Amino acid sequence: MENLSEKIKNFLLLSAAFIAVALLSFFIGMFFPESEPEEPVDQVQITSETVVNKINDEAFLVTKTVFVDQEAQLVIDNGSGWSNFWWGQTIDAEALVRIDVGVDLSKITEEDIEINQEEQTITITIPDAEVLDSSIYGDIDVITDNGVLRTLFANDPNDDHNLATNELINLSTKVVIEDAELLNEAKIDSRNILQLVLSDLGYEVIIR
């Protein structure tokens, strides 16, 4: 009889232990679920289109500004001294001209970009620096010497002013374009901007 009681007691103990283990496993599973294996993250493929879009969205225009004290003379020749006496015109003008020089980054296309995925490099061929904007800074001095009949019948100060303005800007632009050092400095500034904008792509950026 004692053996039977002992067996029942042992059975009950084993059952209780089993139930306790089962409950413990249940609660562990509830509060500490197995973490699912993380799916591999696809690395974003850098393409020429990616680079162009990033330049257009984030790069800003950097310019070098110069001021040119420019003089100009326009002579309207009617072919002979006699004709010039009646209808000729000479315009003398002087003004300070502001010229902005830089690289137009919006001109960069996918064809200008070469990407080496193995070496993780981006090579960009950028345009040369150019005059991006020009204008008269301050007042313009205009002195006009007209022929007799032009003074009487065809005198137009506004037209004279516009002619002088265009000539002053054109002459100043030619002066700036011939300044190779200035153009090179403007190109270097744009190169530095591109290096900064593209630095977070994880590629070495080479600017040509």
pLDDT for 15: 52
Tell me the pLDDT band of 39, cut-offs 50, 70 and 90. Answer: very low
pLDDT winner (highest mean) among 56-60, 86-90, 182-186 = 182-186
> Order of strands, edge to edge, in the sheet holding 121-124?
113-116, 121-124, 204-207
- Indicate whether 68 pLDDT > 50: yes
Give the pairing of strands 130-146 and 204-207: unpaired
At residue 1, the 3 state secondary structure works out as coil
- Secondary structure of 56-77 in HEC code, one letter for each residue: HHHCCCCEEEEEEEEEEEEEEC
Tell me the pLDDT band of 17, cut-offs 50, 70 and 90. Answer: low
Per residue in 126-184, pLDDT tens? Answer: 999 999 999 999 999 988 776 544 554 456 667 778 888 999 999 999 999 999 999 99
Inter-residue contact 99 to 137 (CB < 8 Å): no
Pairwise CA distance, residues 156 & 147, whole Å: 13
- Indicate whether 187 pLDDT > 90: yes
pLDDT for 20: 54
Tell me the pLDDT band of 42, cut-offs 50, 70 and 90. Answer: very low
According to DSSP, residue 193 is labeled H
Percent residues over pLDDT 90 in the chain: 50
Report the pLDDT averaged over residues 13-24: 53
* Mean model confidence pLDDT for the chain: 79
Q: How is the chain split into domains, by residue range?
A: 48-207
pLDDT for 40: 40
Report the pLDDT averaged over residues 24-41: 52
